[in-house]
Amino acid sequence: MFPDLKYSVADFRLLADNAPVGIFLTTVDGQWRYANEALAHMLEFDSPRELMRESALERYHQPGARAALLERLHNGEQVRNAELELRTRNGAVRTVLSSMNLEGDRITGMMIDVTDRKQAEVERVALLKQLAQERALLAEVLQQMPLGVGIATAPKGTLILGNAQLETIWRHPMIPADTIAGYDVYHGFHLDGRPLLPEEWPLARAIRTGEVVSPELIAFERGDGSHGLMEMRAAPVRDDMGTVVAGVVTFDDVTARERAARDQQFLSEASALLASSLDYDATLTRVARLSVPRLADWCLVHMVDTDGIARIVAFEHADPRQHELRNDLEQWYTLAPGAPSHIAQVLRSGKPILISEIREEHLAATAVDEQHLAALHKLGMRSGLIVPLIVQQTCVGALTLIVAESGRSYDSTDLALAEEVALRAAQAITHARLYAAEQQAHAEAEAAVRLRDEFLSVASHELQTPLTAMLGTVQLIQQRDSRENMLSERDRRSFAMVAAQSRRLQRLIANLLDVTRLTAGRLTLQLGSIDLGELVSRLVDELRLITTQHQIELDLPETPLILSGDMLRLEQVVANLLQNAIKYSPYGGVVKVQVEQRGAEAVLKVTDQGIGIPAAALPNLFTRYYRAPNTATARISGLGIGLFVVKEIVEAHGGTVSVSSDEGYGSCFTVTLPQG
Ligand code: ADP
């Protein structure tokens, strides 16, 4: 076989026994002739001998695999690195690469176990697949993100990815840039208007310095030339070593959001300012001031006067040097109702006008003559807004906002904001007007009260003089009668009646006089020692002379109830309460008068069965000129000053007066007076 063989079979045997690959020799029908250690081990047998105890056919896992191999060998093919699956002693399956030769009926061959490699390969393929899937997912997420996303590699800053939203926000396709310097194809600005340098873009900063850029507002010019605001974030992507390998930027167009927030802020400031003044002119001046420069380069407020002519009441210009413009404007924009101007049109219709771009024809339509037109040209108006000020469904004025130098142009959002401002201004005007009307009404009411007080004071003085003379005369007659007994019993009763009624009248007049005195705080007490029981009993006797309809019950303490007080004033208190009890019981009934001592206080209670007092009227009862509504229903007249006087006198004595009542069933007035 090997004619010039220098090595013995034993040498080969040794080599085969120790080879790290499986080596075997079998017959075609599956009988082992030789197997080495490595093969036995590969197939989980303790030794080649054990392996060789079983047929080699047993080891094939795939049915027909061995037959196919044999066929190839028989066809004279060399089998090299054929992949086979073999079954181990323990039933596990190993994948091997096998090379075989057929000689006569003997097959020699070797095998390498590639199960682990194969497994690793399968895993690698699966991993790659998973990776591809994840990549696709990520790419999809990036595309679907509502934010614009851009990725650039470090250190050059080559833009490698931009999602669809990037294009939507910029309104142009992603412009490739190989280096950071190339970012200048994107037009960004600082908020103060300075252009953003390429290396100032957040993505550039993340790549160059590893900076994590938290939300930053950047102004930008879109592909269609319009301007907006974006909020940008950026972060570096680092490798295992911490080296920046890429940068990611995300951004969102926040133009609308920022504008809404600014408008809201503006509106709340406007509301606060407008609400803080009730002065009409100041309100309108504030509106104008507020609007410039945030809403306009200059602003006019017109108000329609009572003569129907709209005049400029406030003017504000962003450039203070232009303030003299007001005179010119007043000349042209004092508007008669039929004037051709847009402002007059708004005042007539109550509908706003928005002119996004003021063109020649707009100027020509409002100019009254050549000189006016020339002046209008000089004003350089670019865009304008006129909104009505509507108070109680009537257009009372207009707010005009003009853009000139700043070059902005108004849109419907500006119009909505201006309308909101006008609404709030109109509310402020309404409040200012109501306040002014209220002030006037208040002043008028006060003047009326003063007039009434003055009249009462004069009238009561005038009444008092003849009444005193009359009462004096009656008393003289009564005194003469008591000496000379000259009157008939009937006349005597009549004179007593005249005297009682005169005294009643006197007290009424005293009340009137007191009202003015009390309001001026001029009540002085002349204190003396008084027996309250005696005082009350005297006035009850007098009252009995006046009424026959009422039954007056008097309940006095057994011993005198002495207190320190002003006799005439306390008489006024008791008389007022007694007379009210009679007056407000038009159908008669019992009037109960109680005097008692309670601790260190004297208490007087007057209870009647009259019309009573509505609960709602109780808190106002002691107010000057107040009368409960049920007095009108019952047709009982009065001035509404008696109880006011009672309260003032009682309180001047350090006492209290209170009332309880059940409307329709009667009232009870309680006076307490300290005895000390
Ligand atoms: P006047 O009786 O002249 O109206 P007063 O100051 O004495 O004024 O009383 C004020 C109001 O209190 C009265 O108008 C009436 O409504 C109510 N009032 C006073 N006393 C009584 C009473 N005894 N019963 C019912 N209402 C009373």
pLDDT tens digits for range 437-471: 899 999 998 898 888 878 888 888 888 888 998 99
Q: Which residues pair with 148 in a beta bridge?
A: 251
State the pLDDT at residue 193: 86
Q: Is the pLDDT of residue 1 over 70?
A: no
- What is the token pair recorded at 620? 């106002």
574 within ligand 1 shell (Cβ under 6 A) = no
Q: Which residues pair with 303 in a beta bridge?
A: 311, 397
Closest atom, ligand 1, to C-alpha of 608: 23
Q: Is the pLDDT of residue 519 over 80?
A: no
In angstroms, what is the span from residue 338 Cα to ligand 1's centroid?
60
Upper half-sphere CA count for residue 277 (Cβ side, 13 Å) = 15
Average pLDDT over residues 58-76: 90
How far, in whole angstroms, is CA 455 from its chain's centroid?
55
**63 cis-preceded (ω within 30 degrees of 0):** no
Q: Is the pLDDT of residue 338 over 80?
A: no
Alpha carbon nearest to ligand 1 atom 20, residue: 580
Q: Is the pLDDT of residue 406 over 80?
A: no
Closest atom, ligand 1, to C-alpha of 610: 24
Report the distance separating Cα 461 and Cα 514, nearest Å: 11
Report the distance separating Cα 676 and Cα 348, nearest Å: 76
Report the distance separating Cα 482 and Cα 192, nearest Å: 108
Average pLDDT over residues 273-285: 77
Tens digit of pLDDT for each residue in 373-388?
Answer: 888 888 888 999 999 9
State the pLDDT at residue 555: 96
341 within ligand 1 shell (Cβ under 6 A) = no
State the pLDDT at residue 660: 97
611 within ligand 1 shell (Cβ under 6 A) = yes
Report the distance separating Cα 584 and Cα 668, nearest Å: 12
State the pLDDT at residue 17: 93
Neighbours of 14 (CB within 10 A): 12
Tens digit of pLDDT for each residue in 208-229?
Answer: 999 999 999 999 999 998 889 9
State the pLDDT at residue 451: 85
Percent of the chain with pLDDT over 70: 99
- State the pLDDT confidence band at 5, using cuts at 50, 70 and 90: low
State the pLDDT at residue 490: 93
Which pTM value belongs to this model? Answer: 0.50
Q: In the β-sheet with 656-662, what is the strand arrangement from edge to edge? A: 550-555, 589-598, 601-607, 666-674, 656-662
Tens digit of pLDDT for each residue in 624-661?
Answer: 889 999 998 889 998 898 999 999 999 999 999 999 99
What is the per-residue DSSP string for 460-503?
HHHHHHHHHHHHHHHHHHHHHHHHH--S-HHHHHHHHHHHHHHH
In angstroms, what is the span from residue 580 Cα to ligand 1's centroid?
6
In angstroms, what is the span from residue 619 Cα to ligand 1's centroid?
13
State the pLDDT at residue 625: 87
Alpha carbon nearest to ligand 1 atom 21, residue: 580
Average pLDDT over residues 260-266: 89
Q: Is the pLDDT of residue 195 over 90?
A: yes
What mean pLDDT is reported for the chain? 90
**Does 340 or 435 have the greater pLDDT score?**
435
642 within ligand 1 shell (Cβ under 6 A) = yes
Closest atom, ligand 1, to C-alpha of 617: 16
627 within ligand 1 shell (Cβ under 6 A) = yes
State the pLDDT at residue 4: 61
State the pLDDT at residue 372: 82
Closest atom, ligand 1, to C-alpha of 621: 12
Q: Is the pLDDT of residue 2 over 60?
A: no
Alpha carbon nearest to ligand 1 atom 7, residue: 642
Find tokens 């490739």 and name the residue.
176
Average pLDDT over residues 586-600: 95
State the pLDDT at residue 160: 92
Which burial class, exposed, middle or buried, applies to 199 when counting CB atoms under 10 A from its CB (0-12, 13-18, 19+)? Answer: middle
367 within ligand 1 shell (Cβ under 6 A) = no
Average pLDDT over residues 481-501: 92
Pick the range with the lowest mean pLDDT from 322-331, 410-419, 499-508, 646-655.
322-331
Q: Is the pLDDT of residue 277 over 80?
A: no
